[in-house]
Amino acid sequence: MENNDITSRQILPSLKIKGRTITSPIIQGGMGVGVSLAPLASAVAREGGIGIISSAALDRLVSKRTGKTLNTYEAAYEEISIAKSTTGIVGINIMVALQQDYEASVIGAIDAHADVIISGAGLPLNLPVIKDPRDTALIPIVSSARALELICKKWERVGYRPDAVVLEGPLAGGHLGFRFDQINLESNKLENLFPPVKEVAIQHGGFPVIVAGGIYTHSDIVKFIRMGADGVQMGTRFLVTEESSATQAYKQAVVDAKKEDILIVEKPGSPCGLPFVVIKSSPMFVSTLNGKRKLKCDKGYVLTRDKNGKYTQCNAQTDNKGYFCICNGLLSSADYSPQEEPLYTVGLNGYRVDKITNVKELMDELKGVIR
């Protein structure tokens, strides 16, 4: 981060990652499935933030849009190339939990000259060795100083260190990196998680620390910048924009949600086994809760290996009461398969959203632009 102070008008400082200067230290979260695609990422990049594509199910989403059958590598390459045709900084979020597609997504992103790869939903311990990242910045997502220390030690063995890190607290949307009984602990508030993570980053070269989970307003951003954070990552605010590829029904469900409508669920929950944030009126969540969802798991993005090393196992294949089918549910929420029941996830501050806006208006608000 450059040494420019926040003035009385609370102008945000710029952010530097791997030699690139980001005018506004705001990263748009990579919301999957299909919410964060090129239209949203490029709009954020044009406004001086970092626009992020979600890699989840990109092969199906881009194939449907283009009318061509693309594999994971080709889809990542295509979507990043489109987003990078605008001005600004563009990257991709790649989930470790999507084991089958992980390496192909990484290679496609690097070959397309993505500015950044952000990787979480598991520890991206092998990310630097998949392919020489060249100018692409590698940024892990962690939820603790211990996790960051593990990543730093592993990466340093192959001569690499994180170009930045995203620290995600328990107010985020989607999958959370905490056990269910850890979520409400005082020690796991973002404000309390930050200092030890910042210290680890300093010990390993002083790379930027970006905070995420519950950041909602310009004043929230200023608060964490003053604490020593170098930037913020935000998902929910960008979910409910015109440029987001979420369905209109999904966006309206967020606008309509009250605080008590947003739940952290475990059973019924995600087949990934991590606590998951859901809007309780989501049709797929309701049918799973009521035991009425038919067993269907035909997309296979979260499959894990069986004893023979083949990707065949998913909890949603065998238990339609304990687990919803996250692949079909989230794809439906991105209008890929409208015949399926949609599943809506949002950050825990999602109840504060009261309208659909556009990226320029939102970025101006977050930057503290005075109209």
Least confident of 73-82, 86-95, 325-334: 325-334
291-335 residue pLDDT tens: 888 777 788 788 888 888 888 888 888 888 889 988 899 999 998
Residue 8 has pLDDT above 70, yes or no: no
What radius of gyration do the chain's Cα atoms show?
19
C-beta of residue 136 within 8 angstroms of C-beta of residue 163: no
pLDDT above 90: residue 23: yes
CATH of span 15-245+355-367 = 3.20.20.70
More reliable by pLDDT, 74 or 297 = 74
The DSSP output letter for 166 is: E
pLDDT-derived band of residue 11, with 50, 70 and 90 as boundaries? Answer: confident
The mean-pLDDT minimum among 20-34, 167-181, 193-207, 255-269 falls in 167-181
State the average pLDDT over residues 127-136: 98
Model confidence band, residue 370 (pLDDT cutoffs 50, 70, 90): low
Tokens, residue 246: 């979420």
Closest alpha carbon to 138 in 166, 111, 112: 166
Higher-confidence residue: 309 or 286?
A: 286
Integer angstrom CA distances of residue 364 from 134, 222, 268, 282, 321? 32, 14, 39, 31, 44
Average pLDDT, the chain: 92
Q: Which two tokens stand for residue 346?
A: 């949002």
DSSP SS3 for 34: coil
Q: Label residue 135 by pLDDT band (50, 70, 90).
A: very high
Q: What is the mean pLDDT of residues 143-164?
A: 97
6 pLDDT tier (thresholds 50, 70, 90):
very low
Cα–Cα distance, 358 to 150 (Å, whole number): 39
* Residue 51 near residue 41 (C-beta atoms within 8 A): yes
Domain ranges of the chain: 15-245+355-367, 248-351
Residue 136 · residue 76 · CB < 8 Å: no
Task: Answer yes or no: is pLDDT of 10 > 90.
Answer: no
pLDDT for 369 beyond 90: no
Alpha helices in 257-295 (DSSP H): 283-289
Cβ-contact 343, 332 below 8 angstroms: yes
pLDDT at res. 297: 78
pLDDT classification of 5: cutoffs 50, 70, 90: very low
Q: Give CA–CA dist 165/123, Å, rounded.
A: 12
SS3 56: coil
* Among the ranges given (75-84, 144-153, 280-289, 306-315), the one the predictor scored with the smallest mean pLDDT: 306-315
pLDDT tier at 181, thresholds 50, 70, 90: confident
What is the pLDDT averaged over residues 11-16?
93
Instruction: For residue 186, count other CB atoms closer than 10 A to its CB.
Output: 7
362 pLDDT band (50/70/90 cuts)? very high
Residue 182 confidence (pLDDT): 85
Residue type, 139: I
- Give the DSSP H/E element, type plus range, for residue 262: strand 262-265
Query: What is the predicted pLDDT for the residue at 371?
Result: 60
CB 168 within 8 A of CB 188: no
- Average pLDDT over every residue of 121-129: 95
Q: What is the pTM of this model?
A: 0.93
